[in-house]
């Protein structure tokens, strides 16, 4: 399959089945903005839940946080965003197109002209105002990253949880960047969601923590079913690193549009806590009571994009298989990520007893995981529809089920069908799925 074809097929599947819609579509759409539909919302929750489980619940050394989107504007002075978070833009004098100077190599991609205005810095933060007076004195920003909410709560979390180093604070949330260039589908959006950890450590242990987090974060994608050959680590070159950074590695995925970053793991030194100490006047050093010393911990920052990760999982799960004369589209999402775990399907929707039994079986399991009941087509078609959204199992109730108290359970990947008694159905599915 050509790469463009694959991307087109995924975009079309996303719209047709309700994973991802163009934002504001009835008004002609909005650039770099997308909405998650019913199945996309489920998938996104599953990605975030899997992350939270892996980095917070299943560890002893990381706690969660949920800080605000709008914070004190001085935070962005301290972090450097007000000063440095810029793209340099130029206008084409001929066609009036506006471009990032680092994207065009001196030639207008619209009209081919070489006649541009001088470059101007354009800050990527979205501005808003606090309170009713709009005179420029109340400017605030929508956060361009979730990380700063963690740094400014560092001492609060230490005091509230009695943490010793090393420990981390994890946060999932929306961030906003006023991107000028169009992204590939949901890969680059103005409003996007991040999953970030700031991991605080004794400076002496920082290199070891950095290496461990790189390994762990790479493995997370593999554990959730992503093919290893489609993943790689890319260390940043010296020219890509921020002046304070001691290292950075990206986890990249091989999208149809090429290798692209889905997560970055940065070794940030003590830059952030020092900056906030300087700008706020509050001492954000860690107090090591055992050895009675105060110091700025070093920070390792694994920062993943929810939307980018989700897109990579979708691309990786997309399969077309030849089944007799038919092409079967199947999303081979892992158990944890599949939006629907089980679909309950009546073979005859006009038979009230069959329908009632299928609905009852769904009700028995819906509290454990996402189930659906569907009688909107013939069984062959229903199977295909569930395959292309990644549903793990289909349970079919037929006339015989009313007599022998058994149902047919069909596995998404093998298409094998098994008769399972009603008594053992729940245990059978719980065991397979959880």
Interface contacts to Zn ion, rule CB under 5 A: 92, 94-95, 97, 108, 110-111, 113
From the CB of 97, what's the least distance to Zn ion, in Å? 5
Phi, psi (degrees; rounded to nearest 5) at 30 = -135, 130
Task: Kindly tell me which of 1 and 95 has the beta carbon lying closer to Zn ion.
Answer: 95
Task: Kindly tell me which of 90 and 340 has the beta carbon lying closer to Zn ion.
Answer: 90
Task: Kindly tell me which of 113 and 417 has the beta carbon lying closer to Zn ion.
Answer: 113
Task: Kindly tell me which of 5 and 115 has the beta carbon lying closer to Zn ion.
Answer: 115
Task: Kindly tell me which of 113 and 421 has the beta carbon lying closer to Zn ion.
Answer: 113
Task: Kindly tell me which of 118 and 403 has the beta carbon lying closer to Zn ion.
Answer: 118
Task: Kindly tell me which of 107 and 174 has the beta carbon lying closer to Zn ion.
Answer: 107
From the CB of 182, what's the least distance to Zn ion, in Å? 16
Task: Kindly tell me which of 92 and 248 has the beta carbon lying closer to Zn ion.
Answer: 92
From the CB of 180, what's the least distance to Zn ion, in Å? 15
From the CB of 179, what's the least distance to Zn ion, in Å? 20
Q: Among residues 388, 351, 353, 392, which one has the least CA distance to residue 372?
A: 392
From the CB of 327, what's the least distance to Zn ion, in Å? 42
């Amino acid at each position: 399959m050509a790469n463009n074809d694959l991307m087109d097929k995924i975009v079309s599947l996303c719209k047709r089945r309700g994973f991802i819609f163009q934002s504001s579509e009835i008004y002609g759409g909005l650039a770099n903005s997308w909405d998650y539909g019913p199945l996309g919302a489920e998938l996104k929750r599953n990605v975030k839940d899997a992350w939270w489980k892996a980095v917070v619940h299943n560890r002893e050394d990381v706690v969660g946080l949920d800080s605000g989107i709008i914070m004190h504007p001085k935070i962005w002075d301290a972090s450097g965003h007000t000063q440095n978070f810029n793209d340099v833009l130029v206008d084409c004098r001929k066609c009036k197109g506006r471009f990032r100077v680092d994207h065009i190599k001196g030639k207008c991609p619209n009209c081919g002209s070489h006649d541009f205005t001088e470059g101007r810095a354009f800050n990527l933060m979205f501005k808003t105002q606090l309170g009713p007076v709009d005179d420029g004195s109340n400017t605030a920003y929508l956060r361009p990253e979730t990380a700063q909410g963690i740094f400014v709560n560092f001492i609060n979390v230490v005091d509230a949880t009695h943490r010793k180093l090393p420990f981390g604070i994890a946060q999932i949330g929306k961030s906003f960047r006023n991107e000028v260039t169009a992204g590939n589908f949901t890969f680059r959006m103005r409003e996007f969601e991040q999953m970030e950890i700031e991991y605080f450590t004794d400076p002496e242990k920082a290199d070891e923590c950095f290496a461990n987090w790189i390994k762990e974060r790479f493995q997370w994608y593999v554990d959730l079913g992503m093919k290893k050959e489609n993943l790689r680590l890319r260390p940043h070159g010296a020219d890509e690193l921020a002046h304070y950074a001691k290292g950075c590695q990206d986890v990249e995925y091989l999208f149809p549009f090429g290798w692209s970053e889905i997560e970055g793991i940065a070794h940030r030194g003590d830059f952030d806590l020092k900056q906030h100490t300087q700008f706020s006047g509050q001492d954000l050093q860690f107090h090591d009571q055992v050895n009675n010393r105060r110091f700025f911990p070093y920070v390792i920052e694994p920062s993943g994009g929810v939307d980018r990760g989700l897109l990579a999982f979708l691309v990786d799960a997309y399969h077309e298989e030849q089944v007799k004369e038919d092409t079967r589209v199947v999303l081979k999402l892992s158990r944890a990520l599949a939006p629907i775990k089980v679909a309950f399907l009546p073979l005859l929707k006009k038979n009230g007893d069959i329908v009632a039994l299928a609905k009852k079986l769904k009700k028995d399991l819906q509290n454990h995981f996402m189930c659906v009941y569907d009688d909107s087509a013939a069984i062959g078609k229903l199977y295909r529809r569930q395959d292309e959204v990644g549903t793990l199992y289909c349970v079919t109730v037929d006339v015989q089920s009313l007599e022998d108290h058994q149902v047919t359970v069909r596995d998404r990947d093998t298409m094998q069908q098994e008769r399972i008694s009603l008594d053992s159905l729940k245990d059978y599915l719980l065991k397979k799925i959880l």
